[in-house]
Amino acid sequence: MTRQQQSPHMFEKPKGEGPCYLILQYLSRIAVWSYFRHLKVICRAPVPLRGPVVVASNHTNMVIDPAMLIATFPYGRACHFWALARFFKVPLVGQLLLAGGMLPVDTHTHSNDKLFENTSACLEKGGVIALFPEGTSYTRPDHLPFKDGLSWATFEYLTQQKLKYAQDTYLPIIPVGITYTTKNKWRSDVVVEYGEPIIVGPSDLENYQKDSKNAVKELTDRIVEGVEKGTVNAADWDTIHAASEARFLLFGDTTDTHLDKYVQVLQSLTHLFDTKLLDDNNNQESLIKERKELKKQLVICAEDLKRMKLSTLDIRRYNNNNNNNNNNNNSSSSNIKNTNNITQTEISIQLVSAIVSLLFQLPLILPGLLIHAPIYVLGHGINYFEAYTESVAQNKVVASMTLAVPLYMIVFYFVWQWMNYTLAGACAAVVLVPLIAWYHINLVDKRYDSVKYVVTLVRVFMAVSGLDEDRHELELVINRRTWCFHRVKSVIVQLANSGNPHALFLVHLEQDVFPKYDVADIGSDDGDDLACL
């Protein structure tokens, strides 16, 4: 690759990278830190420290997605986003948008030169343009079709550089995948993956000059491929639900460590349960019939838990607590327990123990809970009234951060009043208020898990001590999960032995889950008989 000669404007700072953007970046990091429990940022290749860069990301979570890019982009580089030109004509709003790094795009013009004028100017000054080619946010098992605007903008910039400086210019496009474990749930997890850059250069520009539409389509296809490598996509929700259940059975809950391979594991499992693959009568792959039945049972598992208002993590907590020989909470074997051992006395003891433990912890978290109670009530209301899943997190974050301002002002006032309105009191309040927020977030995770565990035990207690059909339903759920657990391991090992690349990846990833045994060793007692279900 020929080194690009820097344009005279390369060292000029693009508009929107001043104090206003720094405030926006700070607020974005607070939003990400307060809403998500674990954030994993992965860079598959070095991201340029300087020079023009285009970022192409998927867009499943409204304003949270740009906030995620602003908060996590390497080296803290400022990201510039597109916004409709008409918004910039509104007094004050336009100035704030420009100061925050937004770029006006006039969609009414038919000239690419005019349409991408601000984009090209920003790139010429070495800026980072972050775009969402799908155009809108959504909730579905696969991504929306990518639009060609990013590709047109790329070629327009390269064309202008060629005309201005008569030199070869290269522009890296970085595909980004943002994957949320449960995007509408507070204290869930998220993975942000910056993929291998797509370098667009002279040969691409030459193809563009010969056939612009075809070159644009080819570049868009390359961008789609890059983003897909960092995201999870499936043909339907049943495939996603089956893969999610299988992933949890095998690897347990998502910790910061497990998030490193979360996307690859889930995508590998979706390939194994792909609807088109399983429904293709001409398909020659192994264990098609077995995979169909396994997928069906995994989907039933997900539906059962939803109906009983339990989660896979609830079942895991319950089983971990019952398994006295389990010394590793992340061991997949702790997911399974014989339901014949479930007794009302056992559940009662666990429930009382969990409640007492929670009560002992209450003094540590009660002040923070009281201060933040209005935020929790507001978040619960948003959960109930917001119809669109992709808007829930956005509404929670915006509403919570807005409400936090008067709440913390009240805390500041009472601390200052308690110290007789002295200067030392004001300084103490300034230090204390952010400490309260930090203390609450750092303490709340474990206690939040404790509360959810108590709720789980209450539901299990009601099932065990209630009608026979309630107990039978609970036993059926856990028995089905037991069958699925052994069957998933059996199918994956057999597929790995036959050379399936997705199964091989899963087997090599976790030797504790897939030890080096023969398929025959697990085929005899893996619960082939579905009559009990």
The model's pLDDT over 42-89, given as tens digits with 9 standing for 90+, comes to: 999 999 999 999 999 999 999 999 999 999 999 999 999 999 888 888
CB 318 within 8 A of CB 456: yes
Q: What is the per-residue pLDDT across 223-232, written as a single tens digit (0 to 9) for each?
A: 999 999 999 9
Q: Which CATH class is domain 19-228?
A: alpha beta
Task: List the one residue out of 176, 251, 305 whose CA is nearest residue 506.
Answer: 251
What is the pTM for the complete model shown? 0.89
Q: What is the mean pLDDT of the chain?
A: 86
Q: What is the per-residue pLDDT across 363-415, written as a single tens digit (0 to 9) for each?
A: 888 888 899 999 999 999 999 999 999 999 999 999 999 999 999 999 999 99
Strands 171-180 and 53-57: parallel
- Report DSSP letters for 5-30, one per residue: PPPTTTTSPPTT-SHHHHHHHHHHHH
For residue 339, what pLDDT is reported?
45
Q: What is the per-residue pLDDT across 475-489, written as a single tens digit (0 to 9) for each?
A: 788 889 889 999 999
Say whether pLDDT at 517 is over 70.
no
Q: What is the dihedral of CA 372, 376, 381, 382, to 10 degrees?
A: 100
Helix runs in 179-287, H state only: 202-210, 212-228, 237-251, 262-272, 275-279
Say whether pLDDT at 524 is over 50.
no
Place of tokens 């520009």: 205
CB 58 within 8 A of CB 227: yes
| Burial of residue 289, with CB atoms counted within 10 A of its CB: 0-12 exposed, 13-18 middle, 19 or more buried | exposed
Confidence of residue 429 (pLDDT cuts 50, 70, 90): very high
How much of the chain exceeds pLDDT 70, in percent?
86
Residue 200 DSSP class: E
Q: What is the per-residue pLDDT across 146-204, written as a single tens digit (0 to 9) for each?
A: 999 999 999 999 999 999 888 889 999 999 999 999 999 999 999 999 999 999 999 99
Q: What is the per-residue pLDDT across 247-297, written as a single tens digit (0 to 9) for each?
A: 998 887 766 667 889 999 999 999 999 998 898 877 778 889 999 999 999
In 336-438, the DSSP E strands lie at: none
The domain spans of the chain are 19-228, 237-307+467-523, 342-465
